[in-house]
Amino acid sequence: MSATNQPFSAFRIHAEEKPYRAGIESMRTDELSPGEVLIKVAYSSVNYKDALAGTGKGKILREPVLNGGIDVAGYVAASTDPKFKEGDEVLCTGCGLSETRDGGYAQFARLESKWTIPLPTGLTLRESMVIGTAGFTAALSVYQMRRNGQTPDMGPIVVTGATGGVGSLAIDILTRAGFDAHAITGKLDRFDDLIALGAKQCISRKDLYWGQRPLESAHWAGAIDNVGGDMLSGLTRVIKPYGNIASCGLAAAPELQTTVMPFIIRGLSLLGIASAGTARTIRDKVWALLSTDWKPAHLERIATREVGLADLPGVFDTMLAGGSFGRTVVKL
């Protein structure tokens, strides 16, 4: 496997054009963002952020033109950093991909060595992208909750947006970490799938009524919230004393309306989960857990679809319309 400057295909996003334009184009490796490690891409994945970037429905790119894809896994083709040699299997999630530098929706990608992670023993390249940013975010949520005192004996953790990538992987990871996971979703036809992933209870989003008092009856010991808006506001009123809410998404809305009461009376902690910029030391710890004790037990069930670059626009539209379940892997 040798790096060349032959043309290759990339899903390229032109963020500043009117109308917004994204699609497959040809480019060469010397046109890629700078970095020490050139990789031949094997797999990427589709996250909510990718759908926003690829359709222009969210301002994700901070450069006029970039390759999409916030996740990437593949083989080192060339490296100026001696820590990496040709043929090494590596991955990267977040860390500026498809924001400030070219991402993983291409046959080649160039990475900064400080964010390039050797593929952990216990994972294949494909498995690492079934996990991807979604699974890393879910695992980081559990990691931060545990650091802040959350333990399984405190009671169940509820996961919102449970049929999405983060949600489905969170249920699996929570179960592996010894917690009872409950699932909230608007997709009643997916209850059996969520139970198969480990959910002990499934709740219809349409049947929820939080009440309007600053504190309502406490139902759960903690939560992983992918939704934001009214969902997150409601959760602050129903979490047990000294529980944690990991806030990691805004699929419904970015707003949060609450009072200080849950924080000063029940000792609630609201943890912000910013997975894209996670420090390398924590990133390595989380990936070590994801490849061992917290490795999701149902990756093949969660990976519901495998697509190529040409299929991405349709995948984006389905995801933004709320029609996806689990994870979509992109094979290069």
Phi/psi at 207 (5° precision): -95, 0
- Pairing of the two strands 71-79 and 65-67: unpaired
pLDDT at 323 (0 to 100): 85
- CATH classification code of 8-119+298-331: 3.90.180.10
Task: Name the pTM for this structure.
Answer: 0.95
CA nearest to 61, candidates 28, 20, 29, 91:
20
pLDDT at 3 (0 to 100): 55
DSSP result, 73-97: EEEEEEESSTT--TT-EEEEESTTB
Per-residue pLDDT of the chain in tens (332 residues, 90 and over written 9): 445 688 999 999 999 998 999 999 999 999 999 999 999 999 999 999 999 999 999 999 999 999 999 999 999 999 999 999 999 999 999 999 999 999 999 999 999 999 999 999 999 999 999 999 999 999 999 999 999 999 999 999 999 999 999 999 999 999 999 999 999 999 999 999 999 999 999 999 988 888 889 999 999 999 999 999 999 999 999 999 999 999 999 888 999 999 999 999 999 999 999 999 999 999 999 999 999 999 999 999 999 999 999 999 999 999 999 888 999 999 99
For the stretch 65-123, pLDDT in tens is: 999 999 999 999 999 999 999 999 999 999 999 999 999 999 999 999 999 999 999 99
pLDDT at 4 (0 to 100): 62
Please, are residues 238 and 212 in contact by the beta-carbon 8 Å criterion? no
CA distance 195 to 185: 12
CA distance 206 to 189: 13
Q: Where are the domains of the chain?
A: 8-119+298-331, 133-275
Q: Check if 8-119+298-331 and 133-275 are the same fold.
A: no
Burial status of residue 293 (CB atoms within 10 A of its CB: 0-12, 13-18, 19 or more): exposed
Question: Which class is 133-275 in CATH?
Answer: alpha beta
